[in-house]
Amino acid sequence: MTAYIIRRLFLMIPTLLGIMLVSFAVVQFAPGGPIERIIAQVSGTDVSATARFTGQGSGDFGATMGREGAGGADGTQAKYRGAQGLDPDFIKQLEAQFGFDKPAHERFLIMLSNYAMFDFGKSYFRDIRVIDLIKEKLPVSISLGLWMTLVTYLISIPLGIRKAIRDGSRFDVWSSAVVVVGYAVPGFLFAILLIIVFAGGSFFSWFPLRGLTSDNWHELSLGGKIADYAWHLTLPIVSMALSSFATMTLLTKNSFLDEIRKQYVLTARMKGCGETRVLYGHVFRNAMLIVIAGFPGAFVSAFFTGSLLIETIFSLDGLGLLGFESVLNRDYAVVFATLYIFSLVGLVVNLISDLTYTWVDPRIDFEAREV
């Protein structure tokens, strides 16, 4: 197993390199960029994502830079839309500031060497290091992703097993109808409904509308902090987990049904094994393999990409909102750093998932096959 883990860790390097190379190449052909945004700010035509979402932007920076001069146009200006009339030295200064005065391949190699040391530089439009910006947003995404995944698994797996045991019964029929309807309802729409009903919209005011904790959280006791944290997370977690219940529940049910109908289960019953021992001593280990296989995708999706609308609706400033704003604002320092971290975490989680297979079923031997 040690040799397999080492091979997988080494394979992460070309995989990560390929992800970053493709993303970097796509960005080179994408219209707009940080320099174009500064030019738009100078000319007064910029509407940034930061300004739309938070009422803030980098207009002061753009205005300051714009006062440095306006003049004729040359080849440097021709590369950027709206740059006519701006001082060519001002454009060159922007290129040097953002690193665009170097060829693309050189910029890519510099980025890789820095990322290998986990040096992600500073945000283009926020005077803060990218790693500090990510750390600032991380608690929200950890809370949403971790608890949503745990709640989904803790409810869906027992429910799926119960449905498999009682396949075709009234319980199976009505519970299937409930989870399918829940899957069909968009999470953001259900979030709005929860706010209207339970967060002071039109009926009850039982839950807060914004934030991960209350303003007086640091003054609360340990029990009070835990209760306050859970109080703020209840509605976002319910909104995110609703659509996940159907997939995981039906996957668990079908996996158990497939195993229950196999010959070894019939043999175990004929030998006098009780139903509980058959189900959890024999069927569970085999049936859970396919459920575990879906864990990395579910976890990574919930942790990083599945919470943008929920974060926006409940005013939770997490990584989903950060990534969305960074793409719109062409803040490539944040875009590539978050992509690098997300990809690395995804690869590590996939490795952990494979190792979990061996824990669930020791008969699986990854070292005996080619990677």
Do 87 and 135 have their domain in common? Answer: no
Measured CA to CA, the distance from residue 139 to residue 317 in angstroms comes to 9
pLDDT digits (tens, 9 = 90+) for 7-51: 888 888 899 999 999 988 888 777 777 777 776 666 655 555 544
Do 168 and 271 have their domain in common? Answer: yes
The Cα-based distances of 148 to 6, 174, 231, 238 in angstroms read 31, 24, 14, 8
For residue 370, the one-letter residue type is: E
Say how many domains are in the chain.
2
Do 330 and 270 have their domain in common? Answer: yes
Q: Is the pLDDT of residue 66 over 50?
A: no
Domain that holds residue 90: 32-101
Three-state SS at 306: coil
Residues in the chain: 371
The single-letter DSSP state of residue 93 is H
Q: Which of 79, 101, 123 is the last residue of a domain?
A: 101
Residue appearing with tokens 């914004």: 210
Cβ–Cβ under 8 Å, residues 149 and 337:
no
Do 86 and 179 have their domain in common? Answer: no
pLDDT at 72: 41
59 found inside a domain: yes
Do 263 and 327 have their domain in common? Answer: yes
pLDDT at 45: 59
pLDDT digits (tens, 9 = 90+) for 135-183: 888 888 878 878 888 888 888 888 988 888 888 889 989 988 888 888 8
State the CB neighbour count (10 A cutoff) for residue 207: 19
Measured CA to CA, the distance from residue 366 to residue 371 in angstroms comes to 8
Measured CA to CA, the distance from residue 142 to residue 336 in angstroms comes to 20
Do 175 and 91 have their domain in common? Answer: no
What is the mean predicted confidence (pLDDT) over 219-232? Answer: 86
Q: Provide the percentage of residues in the chain whose pLDDT is more than 70.
A: 76
DSSP per-residue codes, 78-95: HTSTT-TTS-HHHHHHHH
pTM exceeds 0.75, yes or no: no
For residue 224, the one-letter residue type is: G
* CATH number of the domain encompassing residue 173: 1.10.3720
202 found inside a domain: no
Residue appearing with tokens 């190379």: 21
pLDDT at 156: 87
Q: Is the pLDDT of residue 338 over 50?
A: yes
Do 252 and 363 have their domain in common? Answer: yes
Do 156 and 48 have their domain in common? Answer: no
Which two structure tokens, joined as six digits, stand for 206? 């039982």
The single-letter DSSP state of residue 218 is G
Do 159 and 266 have their domain in common? Answer: yes
Which two structure tokens, joined as six digits, stand for 152? 């989904």
